[in-house]
Amino acid sequence: MLGKLTKFEFRAVNKVLLLINAFTVLLTLIGCLTFASPLWDFESAYTGVLAMSSILIYYIAIIAISLFCCVYLAVRFYKNLYTDEGYLMHTLPVTPRELILSKTIAAFCWLLITGLLICFSVCAILGSAYLKFGVEEFEDISNVFFALNDFTKEVYDMSLTGFCIFMIVAMVVGSFSSIFMIYAAISVGQLMHKHKVLGSICCYIGFYFIQQTLSMITMIPYWVKIFTLDFPEDGLGSYMKYQLTISIILSAVLAVIYYIITEYMMKKKLNLD
C-alpha cells in the first residue's frame, strides 16, 4: 500500500514542482546567454550596476524557488491530512506510518531534484562567467580541483573527496530532519481548535529555536577544550570537522524525534475539527 500512496503523492505534486523547477532551468539559460552576449564588451558605468543587479536578482530567485518548494510541500501535507481531505485519507486502510512515509519519499525526492538543479544552475552560471572573463589563476581546470583540495584540507582537515562525502551525508540527513520538523510542527499545531496554521508556524519556530540551542550546546565541550586546555594543532580544520560531525549526528537524532512526534500525534491526537 505504501507504493500506491507514494505514486499518488507524486502525481499530486508533480505538476507544480515540475513547473517551478522548469523555471530554474529557464533562469539558468537566461543567465548563461546573458554572459555570452556582447553586452559586457561595452565599457560603461552602468555595466557594474547591471552585473550586481543581475547577481542579486538571480540569488533572490534561487532562494525563492527553494522556499516555494518547502512551503508547497508543507501546505500539501497539512491540507491532505489535517483539513477536510484528512477525513478521507484517515479512513483508508493504511497506517499513519504509511501516510507519513509516502509524503516523505515524495518530498525528499523533489527536494533532492530541486537542490541538484540549483547546484547545476550555479555551476553553469559560474562556468559561463569563467568562459566570458577568464581567471588567470585557473587557466587549467585541473588547478581548480587542486585549489579546492588544498582549501578543504586547510579549513576542514579532510581531502576534497572526503569533504564531498561528508556534505552528501549531511545534506541527506539534514533534508530528512527538515522534512520531519515541518511535519512535527504541523502535527502539533493542529491540536489548536482555531488558528491551526498559526499554531503550526509557532511550533516550527519553537522547534527551530530548540534545534539551534542544542547545536550550540554540543559545541561547548570543544570550546572549553580550546580556551582552557590547548588549541589543537590543526586549529580551524579540527573545529570545522568536529562541527560537521556533530551537526550530522544531531540532525539524525532530531529527525527520529520529529518522526516519532508526527506519528504519535497522528495516531493518538488527531484533530480534524
- Average pLDDT rounded to a whole number, residues 14-41: 82
Sequence-distant (6+) residues with CB within 8 A of 104 are 176, 179, 180, 183
Domain count, the chain: 2
pLDDT in tens, 41-97: 666 666 667 767 777 888 888 889 889 999 999 999 998 888 888 788 888 888 889
Is the same domain home to 190 and 114?
A: no
Is the same domain home to 257 and 164?
A: yes
Helix (H, G, I), strand (E, B) or coil at 33: helix
Look up the domain containing 54 and give its range.
Answer: 1-134
Residue by residue, what is the 3-state secondary structure of 40-82?
HHCCCHHHHHHHHHHHHHHHHHHHHHHHHHHHHHHHHHHHHHH
pLDDT in tens, 108-126: 999 989 988 888 888 888 7
| pLDDT (0 to 100) of residue 47 | 64
Is the same domain home to 25 and 99?
A: yes
- Average pLDDT rounded to a whole number, residues 180-193: 90
Is the same domain home to 104 and 223?
A: no
Is the same domain home to 122 and 81?
A: yes
| pLDDT (0 to 100) of residue 137 | 46
Count of beta carbons in the 10 Å neighbourhood of residue 273: 7
| pLDDT (0 to 100) of residue 98 | 92
Is the same domain home to 111 and 210?
A: no
Q: Give the global pTM.
A: 0.83
Is the same domain home to 156 and 249?
A: yes
Sequence-distant (6+) residues with CB within 8 A of 236 are 154, 155
For residues 233 and 155, the answer to whether their CB atoms sit within 8 Å is no
- The residue from 80, 102, 134 where one domain ends is 134
Question: What is residue 39's DSSP assignment?
Answer: G
Cα gap 109→114, rounded to integer Å: 9
Maximum alpha-carbon separation in the chain = 68
Q: Write the single-letter amino acid at 52.
A: M
Q: Considering the chain, what percentage of its residues have pLDDT values greater than 90?
A: 25
- The residue from 134, 160, 189 where one domain ends is 134
Is the same domain home to 250 and 265?
A: yes
- The residue from 134, 166, 186 where one domain ends is 134
Cα gap 117→21, rounded to integer Å: 7
- Average pLDDT rounded to a whole number, residues 159-178: 84
Kind and range of the H or E element at 97?
Answer: helix 96-133
